[in-house]
Amino acid sequence: MLVGEAAREHAIAEAICRSSFEPKLYAAMRLRNPGIISLCKRTGGEYVTGKTTDPEFIVESAKRFHVDFVFVGPEEPLFHGVADALEEAGIPCIGARRAPAELEMSKAFMRRLMWKHGIPGRLRFKAFKEVEDAVAYIREYAESVALKPARQVGGKGVKVIADLQAYLSREKAHVKEQHAKIISEEHMKGYTDIEDRILIEEKVEGPEYTLQAFTDGRTVKPFPLVQDNKNAFEMDIGPETGGMGSIAGRGMLLPFITLQEYRRSAEIVKACVRAVETETGYKYKGVVSGQMMLTAAWGPTIIEFYCRFGDPEAVNVLPILKSDMVELCQAIIDERLNKVKLEFEDVATVVKGIAPKGYPDRRDLAKGHPVLVDEEAVKRKGGRVYYASTDLQPDGTILTGGSRLVEIFAKGKSIPEAGRKAEACIPFVRLADGWGVFYRSDIGSEILLKRRIEQAELVRGVYKYRFRKGLVGKTIEWIPGRGKIVLEA
């Protein structure tokens, strides 16, 4: 039984249904994802809708369907202890227990963990329980910072402010202070499951990428690297979204990340999985993803953790998974992941999200529009449709849920080739009431790749210099009147 209803879960469902074990797929969803529903029907399974964060609902559904195991797609059910409840009921679960899932749920926990265990790729941070203290800190010290809700709140509420021009500092300080209040009053509203409210981190710059992996708590098996594109509009302009599309290159790599950097990223993720077990006493079983950045400070650096696949990143890698998904899941359950191979087709992939106008800031406007997708035409153009924020109605119409409505997947010999294929599929997705949709035509383009490569080269030059000078993991400063100060990280 699959829990979740986004494009990520559609991709997981499809990978499960490809298995040679010929499984029956069951699903527990908040909205009725038409892609997942059709897979349930095709394999002779069933689905239920309800509150997927409610452990009781999930356990009952799993019992009713007599499922062999449960795969939890999104993070919130895990934060609410769905994996714990399932295992206590004797139902194996792919998805971390509540305690290890704190790696994603509490960004403050994650940072403290990295510092305590001396894991590379950590950033300097301050966690605040009171908004007043955060605002006071911003007034006193904060320059270029990232302000985050201390808890994962659906990827929202993060504000990154580079504050390098003294002449614009006052305006930026105003935004930082106001945003800290918004985090506390809006984004963190209603969350009582962690103590910290606001996290302030040093601001870093560089190309971002996601390292997704399966783990049984002993072995960590990384997937090919993927890069998501967060700005709503082309050329990285516009407000932050959940991701407008993503790319993955051949040979498990991205064109701007070296093999050594990939390996080091995987080492960091492994170290964190080990540290989590040490701290919580629970083995981490399921999916773990490092939302990473190549920075001048460390090279590979952790920005955030996911206790799940990324979305859209999952849609890049799961369709090209050659290994048997059910076999992999069984290996995670049995803690013998080291015995099975994780293999992928050696192709480049591009995923493009299509969103209704109004997304991301006015979801009220983006919601409730009837969706028209010509899946056959998309297939003819060499793409595949993964349904995202959509809700299948009893009469067969599909309505938008307010976020990206579908993600288009395409593969090719190179990223630009896959990008062109995905691009050709876009006209076959529209809204029947004439409400507009948008997507990013530049994702997968040569010009954007060139930009990322240039950015990576710049950062790589600096972190390699720091390695040569023995400066990685520390900062040496000279404060006039106080002298030399050596800071860790």
Partner 1 sequence: MGSGIVGIYGFSKLWKMARFVYYALLALQHRGQETCGIVTYDGKGGLYSYKAGGLVDQVFSQPETLENLKGWVGIGCVTTVAEKDSSLIQPAIVEGPIRTALCFDGKLLNLKSLRRKVSPLEPRTEAELLALLFSRKLDVGLHPVEAASQLMGEVKGVYSLVALTERGEMVAVRDPHGVKPLAIGSFGFDYGVVASESCVIDVIGADFKSDVQPGEIYYFDEYSIERRQAVKPKPKYCAFEHVYLARPDSIVNEVPIYNTRINIGKILAEEHLAENADLVLGVPETAIPFAIAYAQKAGKPFGLGFVQTGRRIRSAIKPTQFERLVGVQLKLNPIKSAISGRRIVLVDDSVVRGTTTKNTVNLMRNKMGAREVHVRVGSPRIVTPCPYGTEVPEKDELIAAHLSPGEVSKVVGADSFHWLSIKGLVKALGIPRKNLCLGCFTGKYPIPFEDEK
Closer Cβ to partner 1, 286 or 358, answer by number: 358
What is the spatial distance between Cα 18 and Cα 20, in angstroms, rounded to a whole number?
7
Q: How far is the CB of 447 from partner 1 (least distance, A)?
A: 9
What is the spatial distance between Cα 38 and Cα 44, in angstroms, rounded to a whole number?
10
AA identity, residue 322: K
Q: Which stretch binds partner 1 (CB under 8 A): 36-44, 175-183, 263-271, 343-351?
A: 175-183
DSSP 220-256: EEEPPPBEE--EEEGGGEEEE-S-SEEEE-STT--TT
Q: Using CB under 8 A, which of 30, 107, 111, 230 touches partner 1? A: 230
Q: Using CB under 8 A, which of 41, 64, 66, 174 touches partner 1? A: 174
Closer Cβ to partner 1, 48 or 182, answer by number: 182
Binding pattern for the stretch 351-380 against partner 1, x by CB under 8 A and - elsewhere: ------xx--xx--x---------------
Q: How far is the CB of 365 from partner 1 (least distance, A)?
A: 7
Interface of this chain with partner 1, residues 109 to 138, rule: CB under 8 A: none
Closer Cβ to partner 1, 71 or 438, answer by number: 438
Q: Using CB under 8 A, which of 41, 164, 413, 457 touches partner 1? A: 164
Max Cα–Cα distance, the chain, nearest Å: 75
Q: Which stretch binds partner 1 (CB under 8 A): 98-106, 165-173, 250-258, 460-468?
A: 165-173
What is the spatial distance between Cα 158 and Cα 70, in angstroms, rounded to a whole number?
31
**Helical residues (DSSP H) of 18-101, grouped into ranges:** 34-43, 55-65, 76-79, 82-88
Residues 6+ apart with CB under 8 A from 209: 225, 226, 227, 254, 257, 265, 292, 293, 294
Closer Cβ to partner 1, 236 or 277, answer by number: 236
Tokens of 29: 């969803």
Q: How far is the CB of 232 from partner 1 (least distance, A)?
A: 7
The residue assigned the tokens 């799940």 is 308
CA 446 from chain centre, in angstroms, equals 24
Burial of 461 per CB tally in 10 Å (0-12, 13-18, 19+): exposed
What is the spatial distance between Cα 200 and Cα 210, in angstroms, rounded to a whole number?
22
Q: Which stretch binds partner 1 (CB under 8 A): 9-17, 20-28, 125-133, 231-239?
A: 231-239
What is the spatial distance between Cα 150 and Cα 62, in angstroms, rounded to a whole number?
32
Q: Is 156 in the site for partner 1 (CB under 8 A)?
A: no
Residues 6+ apart with CB under 8 A from 54: 80
Q: Does residue 176 contact residue 119 with C-beta atoms inside 8 Å?
A: no
Closer Cβ to partner 1, 170 or 484, answer by number: 170
Q: Using CB under 8 A, which of 44, 154, 239, 461 touches partner 1? A: 239
Q: Which stretch binds partner 1 (CB under 8 A): 33-41, 235-243, 427-435, 476-484?
A: 235-243
Q: How far is the CB of 239 from partner 1 (least distance, A)?
A: 4
Q: Which stretch binds partner 1 (CB under 8 A): 177-185, 252-260, 325-333, 469-477?
A: 177-185
Element (H, E) at 94: strand 93-94
Q: Using CB under 8 A, which of 22, 88, 132, 171 touches partner 1? A: 171
Tokens of 441: 């035509």
Closer Cβ to partner 1, 63 or 357, answer by number: 357
What is the spatial distance between Cα 238 and Cα 383, in angstroms, rounded to a whole number?
27
Burial of 400 per CB tally in 10 Å (0-12, 13-18, 19+): buried
Q: How far is the CB of 181 from partner 1 (least distance, A)?
A: 10
Tokens of 179: 């945003």
Q: How far is the CB of 148 from partner 1 (least distance, A)?
A: 13
What is the spatial distance between Cα 210 and Cα 309, in angstroms, rounded to a whole number?
9
What is the spatial distance between Cα 74 and Cα 96, in angstroms, rounded to a whole number?
11
Which residues are bridge partners to 475 per DSSP?
A: 487
Interface of this chain with partner 1, residues 393 to 452, rule: CB under 8 A: 438
Element (H, E) at 199: strand 198-202
Q: How far is the CB of 238 from partner 1 (least distance, A)?
A: 5
Q: Is 162 in the site for partner 1 (CB under 8 A)?
A: yes
Q: Using CB under 8 A, which of 48, 136, 175, 458 touches partner 1? A: 175
Q: Using CB under 8 A, which of 43, 231, 258, 475 touches partner 1? A: 231
Q: How far is the CB of 134 from partner 1 (least distance, A)?
A: 15
**Rounded (5°) CA angle 131-136-140:** 150
Which residues are bridge partners to 2 per DSSP?
A: 27, 71
Q: Which stretch binds partner 1 (CB under 8 A): 44-52, 173-181, 308-316, 386-394?
A: 173-181
Q: Using CB under 8 A, which of 115, 137, 233, 435 touches partner 1? A: 233
Q: Is 165 in the site for partner 1 (CB under 8 A)?
A: yes
Q: Using CB under 8 A, which of 27, 199, 232, 273 touches partner 1? A: 232
With CB under 8 A as the rule, give the number of residues binding partner 1. 32
Q: Which residues here bind partner 1, judged by CB under 8 A?
A: 159-162, 164-165, 167-168, 170-171, 174-175, 178-179, 182, 230-240, 357-358, 361-362, 365, 438
